[in-house]
Amino acid sequence: MTRRVVVTGVGLVSALGVGTEETWQNLLAGRSGAAPITHFDTTGFPVTFAAEVKGFDPLRFIEKKEIKKMGLFIQFAIAASGFALEQAGLKVTPEIAPRTGVYIGSGIGGFDVIEREHTALMQGGPRRISPFFIPASIVNLASGFVSIRHGAKGPNSATCTACSSSAHAVGDSFRLIARSDADVMICGGAEAAITPMGVGGFAAMRALSTRNDAPEKASRPFDRDRDGFVIGEGAGMLILEELEFARRRGAKILAELTGYGMSGDAYHITQPSEDADGAVRVMQNALGDAQVRPEQVEYINAHGTSTAINDRLETLAIKKVFGEHARKLPVSSTKSMTGHLLGGAGGLEAGICVLALRDKIIPPTINYENPDPDCDLDYVPNQSRKSEINVVLSNSFGFGGTNAALVLKRYTE
């Protein structure tokens, strides 16, 4: 018998705030986190802006001597997991440690560390490479550091599935609890790829918006004039618990996670197929897992990257899955405000869905000004919307054709 899984904590670090409620209130207000890049000198770069986390002081969360052992994505993960545990009112005691796990996804990992240490190698030779280089940069050390920090001795894993990484981490954690391999999972994702190679690489692919003169207007999912995504950074973490475990400790339950879908496009390294087959099947798989009919879904947090092909084909996929209901179904892309956190996006957006259920309000798609005839759904344009939503779906699609979808519900007895 599968066990029910609930969400008791959400931790967010984003370009809209270092903290869950700060990020959430700025989302609801429709603020953009995009601004000129400060992490490095952008002279000569075709793209000079991003959605950087502002005012992040690692000393608030991490001992000074430990910081040098961690890439920035790990620091974000530690901060966000701390916020999530605080909201959940959960401390990992020795009694629950063997049944408490950590599962954190990242698509890029420690690009900042890799670039810094490569420079040290080129300038000073191999003796200049830090002994912390490898653990500070590899993807699974976000989970590793969080596990060590909180004494979580249950499943300890990581996903690296491009922009689906943290949605897969949340979904896999859901199944670990449902199948009795853990009672609690600290899960989600983190990313910090606003670096010369990160920005330069995505710009070389022509995936990024080049609206350098108006960064706050650059991310415009589903809008006719979209020209690429805005790279973001940060972390989104959830505390998942088995229902009876959460009840016994008197936890406040924010939402229930009821469905998880996966699919592969088997088509192209970066583009979905023109029939949107992978996106269609991943949503259908998630709904089937949750035992939810399409017409019961009341909000979709879209992958919605602000790229021409993705937005058009995600719209097509939603129409195929939801039929006539698609016309009445609110769909928004919070990447219009947070930027695209790559491997961290799914965790951040799952957390946003939980808060939307909690507060009965749908965050908007900002910068939606000029309708695209191929994107003709209700994208909750420019202003958040009060709504008695009970069932929500969150989509994440990654390079390589790797897709994930999560279904969350308002918790009821």
Query: Any idea which residues carry the catalytic annotation?
Result: 163, 303, 340
In this structure, what DSSP letter does residue 356 have?
Answer: H
**Two tokens, residue 398:** 């990654």
Spatial separation of the C-alpha atoms in residues 188 and 235, rounded to whole Å: 8
Shortest CA distance to 348 belongs to which of 310, 304, 307, 382? 304
- Find, among 237, 199, 197, 183, the residue nearest to 75 by Cα: 237
CA separation, residue 132 to residues 56, 60, 159, 362 (Å): 22, 21, 21, 42
C-alpha 70, offset from chain centre: 20
Convert 44-77 into a string of H (helix), E (strand) and C (coil). Answer: CCCCCEEECCCCCCHHHCCCHHHHCCCCHHHHHH
- Residues 169 and 175: beta-carbon distance below 8 Å: no
Distance CA 293, CA 376 (A): 22
Bridge partner residues of 9 (DSSP): 239
Cβ atoms of 83 and 237 within 8 Å: the answer is yes
**Distance in angstroms (rounded) separating the CA atoms of residues 240 and 70:** 25
- Report d(CA 180, CA 94) in Å as an integer: 19
